[in-house]
Amino acid sequence: MSLPEGDGRTLPAARKQRVSRAFDLSEAGTYAVDDAGRIVEVSAQAELLLRRTAAELLGRDAHDLLHRGRHGATLPRSRCAMRQPLITGGTGQGELEWFERGDGTLLPVSWLVTPCHLGAGRTGALVIFYESAAAVPAQPERVSASASMSELDRLALLAETTTTLTASLEVEETLHQLVRLTAPLLADWVVVDLLTEDRGVSRAVVVHYDDGALVHREDLEGPMPPLPEESPMPLSRALRGVTATLTGPDTYRGDPDSGIAVAQRELFQATGMHSACIAPIRGVREVLGALTLGRAGQPWPFTSDDLLLVEDIARRAGLALDNARLYERQRRVAETMQRHLLPQLPAVPGLELSARYVPAPRASQVGGDWYDAFTLPDGGTALVIGDVVGHDLDAAAGMAQVCNMLRAYAAIQQESPAVILDRLDQAVGRMAQATMATVVLAHLQHTDDDRWLLTWANAGHPPPLLIEHDGRTRFLESGHGPVLGTGIRPTRTDATVELPPRSAVLFYTDGLVESRTHILDTGLARLRRHAASLARRPLDHLCDVILDRVRPAENDDDVAMLALRVPTAAP
């Protein structure tokens, strides 16, 4: 790691003098963070001061792990003075902030944050801190975080809640962030009950803040009894959209009026909560569920002021969850439509065929990838792999149109792949919705002298991979032309190869080999290496392993694959 400015080895004289006045560096701890705020280097003195090992620090978000208010409450990022230099790329210092040590005690620190170079073109910040003599409180009698919050702190928390929860369009991630925002700042137990699409109830989240960690209690999660229509009990009222309520175990000690009341009594018994807030989670059109914040290890009960804050947080969570649900519903519709459009593979004597389709991760939208295989009028087999540009319902709908038009042209016209792609290109240009697509169309013919000939044309798509039985591989890069839908009328050409006995050909979309973190050439090289090692494996196994080993872990695109293998030549 290089220090900021200067020659990369020492601080400039003026800054060095300023640091010397502010810090006794022999007693100071230091750590470096990357531009995302994660700790990447740490000194031995920092380990001693923080009572944490390097293994417990490296890779962790410094703000989330260390920075606290004077009473130990988690600080909203919007209230973190130490983050400002990281965001602006400047230098900042302060006389008193609080770090949480590994044993849970608080360390008052004076600090300096300044930019630094981390090597390999990366930038970050160097944090220098030491124990401040300005305020070393007796460790601590922790008071209610919410009770001690100023109005400005509350507004900052609500602003961060809105910003954080609306940043994701994924229900599980939204719930995860909701837990992080509320525990342990407001409670040491967080419970979220959600209404399902069939109006059942599911206990989606039960999390306990225990000794500095968020612990999921999966044994307390799962389906719940039906929601009663008239029950006056707090959770039932919240799930029907009635106002938030302060409650505790005494509320559920009487005779239960419903299965949900029984489940709530068991929850209080299992968690030891002595005080709780239960607030409805409302979407734009309907109630989505209920948020329960409970205190067991924290001795102070919730107050009416707390209740108003929790109700506001639940309202903001409802808007975020409503958006996430609508998004996931649209995605399921598009994915279902896409899967239904994918064909059953034909049975071709002597030929093995296998195909795979994997949708994009839930954080992304559905794409327009597809494969197709069908028998041609002359007895040959058409093989198609394609990708319509885009990641939404329009892409899925465009995929359906392009796929069907290609089938029609190939099945009716006795023409070569290049001619058919040219006709398809003209048709795509006339579609009402502007569409661009990459496609490989191949014709496979079994000749009278027992040869298998593959003829193909490629419209801007990654090249098919030929995998010979002895492990030799090569990409079929001939016959390449521009993508469909550009408005340009190129001259497209065909290419032909004779497939060696027992060889395989793999068609695939770019989601298999490309991601945001590495270039296409890297993915192609990895595909070729793994395919060579699988040359003699059954075709289905080859497809499964390639998906598992080649598809980038950080991939945010869907993947379609189509593979064929020809038989051994007749003697």
Closest CA to 357 of 512, 148, 157: 512
Identify the segments of the chain with pLDDT beneath 70.
1-26, 77-79, 84, 87-88, 133-150, 331, 333-341, 361-367, 390-396, 432, 434, 570-571
Spatial distance between the Cα atoms of 460 and 376, rounded to a whole number of angstroms: 24
Residue type, 566: V
Contacts of the segment 77-83: beta carbons below 8 A, 24+ positions apart: 77/160, 78/156, 78/159, 78/160, 79/153, 79/156, 82/111, 82/113, 82/127, 83/37
Quote the tokens at residue 352: 């093995």
Q: Could you tell me which CATH number the domain at 13-142 has?
A: 3.30.450.20
- Helix 304-341, helix 393-412: angle, nearest 10: 0
Residue 553: what pLDDT?
77
- pLDDT at residue 541, rounded to an integer: 96
pLDDT in tens, 464-511: 999 999 999 999 999 999 999 988 888 899 999 999 999 999 999 999
| Helix, strand, or coil (residue 372) | strand
pLDDT at 147: 54
Instruction: Identify each DSSP E strand in 227-313 by its residue range.
Output: 245-247, 275-282, 287-295
Q: What is the DSSP letter of 297?
A: S
In this structure, what are the phi and psi dihedrals at residue 448, rounded to the nearest 5 degrees?
A: -65, -25
- Of 477, 465, 473, the C-alpha closest to 508 is 465
Q: Rounded to an integer, what is the distance from CA 471 to the centroid of its chain?
A: 36
- The answer to whether 13-142 and 342-565 have equal CATH topology is no
Alpha-carbon dihedral angle through residues 33, 39, 44, 50, given to the nearest 10 degrees: 110
CATH 3.65.10.10 applies to domain 147-332: no
Q: Tell me the domain boundaries of the chain.
A: 13-142, 147-332, 342-565
Burial of 132 (0-12, 13-18, 19+ CB in 10 A): middle
d(CA 508, CA 463) in angstroms, rounded, equals: 8
pTM of the model: 0.52
Instruction: Count CB neighbours of 449 within 10 A.
Output: 7
CATH superfamily of the domain spanning 342-565: PPM-type phosphatase domain (3.60.40.10)
CB-CB neighbours of 513 under 10 Å: 25
